[in-house]
Chain A
Amino acid sequence: MPSGLPFEREIDEMEELLAKMESGTGNGQVTASEEVRRMRRELANLIRKVYGNLRSWDTVLVSRHKNRPQTLDYIDMIFDDFVELHGDRAIGDDRAMRTGFARLADFRVMLVGHQKGHTLKERNECLYGCAHPEGYRKALNKMRLAAKFRIPIICLIDTPGAYPGIGAEERGQAQLIATNLLEMSRLATPIICVVIGEGGSGGALGIGIGDRVAMLEHAYYSVISPEGCAGILWKVATEETKPMAAEALKLTARDLFRLRVIDAIIPEPLGGAHRDPRGMGSILKDYLLRYLRELRDLSVAELLDQRYQKFRAMGVFVEQVI
């Protein structure tokens, strides 16, 4: 199945060729299988080469790939017993934000995550993962519930940004995100945040304050979308300006690790999570379990102090005494 990513064309072609060979159109069995093995090796090398040289903008495209696993896919793949909780207690059930109890191995957790949807129908329901104020309110309501019973919280971040609309402003988009930032910084239970796809600005940060913050290898996390940035800097977002904006913003996992904003880059299967969602699921599960174990033994005071110091240290400036 072609990925549709421009920089994957060569990979697509070779995959197609390999598929044909594997279906056994060839002559002698022995030579065919040798040929197939050689081809597989070549394909893996090609993928490694392409993915080792992604531009920032390519990363943004990978992070948005329609087959890339989303919150609900991870719930299916690695969590058990998901009990969805819908109520924000004020306005309505925001389908761009999913919350509920779940089990991860022997841990019970509160799962909070953006959901973008794969099909057009799902995407329209979820507004492509752009949550309204009620989504952020629901998230906080459930996180408070988790803290009350000392249940660790896992936030899966995957949004182009909080929804920019009339209703969203009327119902306090900025207010709800502001409240989440303040409250998440002092919730008395471990919080693990992972950017699994798009980390779009305040909409991402609104569920992004935690004791561990990590990114999947081909996710991005940015103060503004490359499109928005390109529109401001070069008046229009084009195929030429978007890559320039993506580059300038330093939004890849590697960039954020270098800027000391994230704790870890979670590696993806060869050629991205969209090639092997199950493989991605099991890698993510290992990381989450490791973090849950690390945080389990901390006292609340230690936990909150470390969380404070973590964000307190962020930023780069000069202090010159004249």
Chain B
Amino acid sequence: MASVGKMKRGVPEGLWIRCPQCKATIFRKEAESRFNVCPECQHHFYLPARERIRQLLDADSFEEWFKDLRPSDPLGFKDRIIYGERLKAEQAKTGMPDAAVVGRGYIRGRPVVFGVTDFAFMAGSMGSVVGEKLTRAVEEATRLTLPLIFVSGSGGGARMQEGILSLMQMAKVSAALARYDQAGGLYISVLTNPTMGGVAASFALQGDLTLAEPGALVGFAGKRTIWNTVRLELPEGFQTSEFLLKHGFVDRIVARKDLRTEVARIVDFCER
């Protein structure tokens, strides 16, 4: 797990990197020292789960839960390679057993239950393990009456390789969040690039508050699917955080450097 932070994914290896948005060539260390954000245009690069925890939670405050959950291959799914083999490759690549990390930590001294999905592991898609970890985290937050923060980065939505079981994880997490809500819990959802499909259509958009990092891709259907259906040019900025804010589905767009402060402030506002 500790190896995730060392991989520098999203900011490619090497001394210099090229920003995909402004095309500027940036000193990698400089981007890293600024929360993995481009110093020229504020483009938010991908952030590994480990790094997210380091940035958002108080130093060494995170206690990881349910680390022993491992994915299996319930369908015997095979495309170019067997799903079991794909999992092994993803685990070796990321050092993570699956795409979600959950646990408990502190944000500026405030205790919270925290969860994050990591895009590096099969595009952050939700299969049984992600669904189970998030559900257990919600149940723990309910039991401990703690605020809940989920940061989602899931391009894949529900994970195809676990078929219908992935779709049902949407229902499972949603039901747990309904109970948490009933119990009066505060759930802050943070959308990061990208949050699509079944993840957007479940826990990512069930927060009491919905925050989003700037420029994140957030939506239900993929652009290619939409284009295949409507055959129209998609509008500028379609399915971005700013697009969702404009249409009323996001409460605040928050730059990464401000996220910790913003979350702490909301927790204080909602304290009972």
Q: A170-B247, A248-B77, A314-B172 in contact; A202/B198 too (CB < 8 A)? A: yes
Tell which of A170, A181, A251, A322 touches B164, judged by Cβ atoms closer than 8 Å: A251
Mark the stretch among B6-14, B56-64, B126-134, B253-261 that contacts chain A: B126-134
Q: A202-B197, A315-B128 in contact; A256/B164 too (CB < 8 A)? A: yes
Tell which of A174, A205, A228, A321 touches B171, judged by Cβ atoms closer than 8 Å: A205
Q: Is the interface of B mostly helix, strand, loop or mixed?
A: helix
Q: Are A175 and B164 in contact (CB under 8 A)?
A: no
Asked whether any CB of chain B lies closer than 8 Å to the CB of A172, the reply is: yes
Q: Are B80 and A233 in contact (CB under 8 A)?
A: yes
Which residues of A sit under 8 angstroms from B226, Cβ to Cβ? Answer: 164-166, 169
> For chains A and B in complex, what number of residue pairs have CB atoms within 8 angstroms?
193
**Whole-angstrom CA separation of A234 from B228 in the bound complex:** 17
Q: A171-B247, A259-B165 in contact; A177/B172 too (CB < 8 A)? A: no
* Complex interface residues of chain B between 42 and 73 (CB less than 8 A to chain A): 68-72
Q: A185-B175, A312-B172, A317-B71 in contact; A222/B80 too (CB < 8 A)? A: no
Which residues of B sit under 8 angstroms from A322, Cβ to Cβ? Answer: 68
The chain B residue sitting closest to A247, CB to CB, is B78
The chain A residue sitting closest to B226, CB to CB, is A164
Asked whether any CB of chain A lies closer than 8 Å to the CB of B263, the reply is: no
Q: Are B206 and A179 in contact (CB under 8 A)?
A: yes
Asked whether any CB of chain A lies closer than 8 Å to the CB of B241, the reply is: no
Q: Are A178 and B174 in contact (CB under 8 A)?
A: yes
Asked whether any CB of chain A lies closer than 8 Å to the CB of B249, the reply is: yes
Q: Are A174 and B205 in contact (CB under 8 A)?
A: yes
Residues on B close to A: CB < 8 A? 68-72, 74-75, 77-80, 127-129, 131-132, 135, 158-160, 162-172, 174-179, 181-182, 197-198, 200-206, 218-222, 225-226, 228-230, 232, 234-235, 238-239, 243, 247-249
**Whole-angstrom CA separation of A233 from B158 in the bound complex:** 15
Tell which of A178, A206, A248, A317 touches B205, judged by Cβ atoms closer than 8 Å: A178
Q: Are B200 and A315 in contact (CB under 8 A)?
A: no
Question: How many A residues touch the partner, as a band?
Answer: 35 or more
The chain A residue sitting closest to B198, CB to CB, is A202
Asked whether any CB of chain B lies closer than 8 Å to the CB of A13, the reply is: no
**Besides A171-B247, A181-B174, A182-B175, 7 other A-B contacts (C-beta < 8 A):** A162-B220, A166-B238, A186-B175, A223-B159, A259-B164, A314-B168, A316-B165
The chain B residue sitting closest to A167, CB to CB, is B230
Which of A163, A316, A317, A321 neighbours the largest number of chain B CB atoms within 10 Å of its CB? A317
* Complex interface residues of chain A between 286 and 322 (CB less than 8 A to chain B): 307-308, 311-312, 314-322
Asked whether any CB of chain B lies closer than 8 Å to the CB of A47, the reply is: no
Least CB distance, A215 to chain B, in whole angstroms: 11
The chain B residue sitting closest to A231, CB to CB, is B224
Tell which of B131, B182, B205, B225 touches A228, judged by Cβ atoms closer than 8 Å: B225
Which of A165, A174, A249 neighbours the largest number of chain B CB atoms within 10 Å of its CB? A174
- Report A210-245 CB contacts with B as 1/0, cut-off 8 Å: 000000000001111000110011100000000000
Q: A165-B230, A222-B164 in contact; A182/B206 too (CB < 8 A)? A: yes
Tell which of B68, B131, B172, B220 touches A168, judged by Cβ atoms closer than 8 Å: B220
Least CB distance, B212 to chain A, in whole angstroms: 13
**Whole-angstrom CA separation of A115 from B251 in the bound complex:** 34
Q: A164-B229, A166-B234 in contact; A202/B167 too (CB < 8 A)? A: yes
Which residues of B sit under 8 angstroms from A171, Cβ to Cβ? Answer: 247
Q: Are A315 and B165 in contact (CB under 8 A)?
A: yes
Asked whether any CB of chain B lies closer than 8 Å to the CB of A11, the reply is: no
**Whole-angstrom CA separation of A165 from B232 in the bound complex:** 9
Asked whether any CB of chain B lies closer than 8 Å to the CB of A250, the reply is: yes
Q: Are A317 and B69 in contact (CB under 8 A)?
A: yes
Q: Are B201 and A318 in contact (CB under 8 A)?
A: no
Q: Are A308 and B170 in contact (CB under 8 A)?
A: no
Q: A182-B181, A251-B163, A308-B179 in contact; A317/B220 too (CB < 8 A)? A: no
Asked whether any CB of chain B lies closer than 8 Å to the CB of A21, the reply is: no
Q: A224-B160, A317-B72, A318-B72 in contact; A178/B202 too (CB < 8 A)? A: yes
Asked whether any CB of chain B lies closer than 8 Å to the CB of A141, the reply is: no
